[in-house]
Amino acid sequence: MSVTDVSILFSYTRSYFQVDLEAVSDAVVYLKTLLPHKTEGELFTVLGRAKQGKTDRFRNLLQHQEKYNEQFIHAPGEKGLVMIVFTLPTHDIVIKIIRDKFAPPKSVSRNDVMARYKQVFEHDRAGRLADAQEFQYLKFDRNHFEASLLEELTSEAREAILIESDNIIFKHCYIERRLTPLNLFLQTADQTAAKKAVYDYGQAIRDLALSNIFPGDLLLKNFGVSVRGRVIFYDYDELCMVTDCNFRDLPSASTEEEELHPDAWFYVAENDIFPEQFISFLGFNEELCQLFMHWHKEILTAAYWRNLQARHRLGEVLDVVPYHHYPF
């Protein structure tokens, strides 16, 4: 077993181990010998001591900020419609704040978003969902925020913050590990790294489906690549259960008028999903698109999803293998 293999098991993308240990610190010391790159807070968290892990994470954040004297900046990637996401330039976490209002086409509410983050916390994360730790009333010096970020926070997230003199207090936020958005990763990755990321992207969708999770929005910008090259999903505002979806085959047009119609010419309910359309939204170049189709084309069929639905509804517990070998 390699450090990478062990890291996957003791990862922020897997459910916490519920371990009844007399001295958790002894287990942390031992795991540190196997995983020296992980912080003590991460190891306390994954062993089920979430409060201790959160305390350590926030302390490390403040110490890092003081040591490097950095300002918070917008996190790399496309601007989100639901969250304001920011980070420190050299730190490995991001902070997420829910916006006061969501621009179209988003139709979810603040409570909907929080419920989905809670669902992720309680569900089997299958090694593919980033752990989003929930914090309340975190205080920072407002001078530690880049001007445009501070302006956005004070204008678009007033419900989530308080301004007190020289401080900004976040009444509610989430902190996650920082990942490289998959769409940005593919822009600069070499051929081998890009192929691995595309394969693992499809495998991430499969792993989530096996744990009864449908991401909702499969755009590459909603997935990130970890420092070890593993593809992780981190945008939860449209996440739902596979068993709650209605996966449909795309109807065939019977007339030329229907075929040329710019919008759907057939009825589409709110929970209807047409897997055949997934590929047209992903933005892969031609070569990567062909590779994705070669490895994962069954994901683009309603039959694949309906089969999983049937197995989940029968109560079958589907195994999610943490280790995968690339087929090249």
Is the per-residue pLDDT at 260 higher than 80?
Answer: no
- The answer to the question of residue 325 being in a domain is no
Distance CA 217, CA 72 (A): 27
**Which of 154, 177, 200 lies at the terminal end of a domain, its last residue?**
177
Residue 23 sits in the same domain as residue 143: yes
Q: Domain range for residue 81?
A: 3-177
Residue 143 sits in the same domain as residue 191: no
DSSP code per residue over 93-130? EEEEEE-SS--TT----HHHHHHHHHHHHHS--TTTB-
- The answer to the question of residue 261 being in a domain is yes
Using CA atoms, how far residue 199 sits from 11, 81, 178, 281, 288, in Å, is 20, 28, 21, 17, 9
**Which of 177, 205, 236 lies at the terminal end of a domain, its last residue?**
177
**What letter would DSSP give residue 164?**
E
Predicted local distance difference test score (pLDDT) of residue 259: 61
5, 26, 56, 131: the catalytic one is 131
- The answer to the question of residue 132 being in a domain is yes
**Which of 141, 160, 177 lies at the terminal end of a domain, its last residue?**
177
Residue 269 sits in the same domain as residue 298: yes
**What letter would DSSP give residue 271?**
T
- The answer to the question of residue 323 being in a domain is no
- The answer to the question of residue 171 being in a domain is yes
Predicted local distance difference test score (pLDDT) of residue 77: 93
- 20 is known as an active-site residue: no
Residue 169 sits in the same domain as residue 186: no
Beta strand 272-273 with 246-247 is parallel
Q: Which amino acid is at 7?
A: S
Q: What average pLDDT does this structure show over 121-147?
A: 95
Predicted local distance difference test score (pLDDT) of residue 300: 96
Write out the two tokens for 52: 């201790």
Residue 74 sits in the same domain as residue 189: no
Distance CA 179, CA 149 (A): 19
| In contact, 163 and 154? CB cutoff 8 Å | yes
Is the per-residue pLDDT at 267 higher than 90?
Answer: no
Residue 10 sits in the same domain as residue 130: yes
Residue 110 sits in the same domain as residue 200: no
- The answer to the question of residue 319 being in a domain is no
Predicted local distance difference test score (pLDDT) of residue 251: 83
Q: What average pLDDT does this structure show over 279-295?
A: 93
Q: Quick one: pLDDT band at residue 253, thresholds 50, 70, 90?
A: low
Residue 140 sits in the same domain as residue 252: no
Cβ neighbours of residue 122 closer than 8 Å, sequence gap 6 or more: none
Report the number of distinct structural domains present in the chain: 2
pLDDT digits (tens, 9 = 90+) for 178-232: 999 999 999 999 999 999 999 999 999 999 999 999 999 999 999 999 998 999 9
Angle at which helices 191-210 and 286-296 cross, to 10°:
40
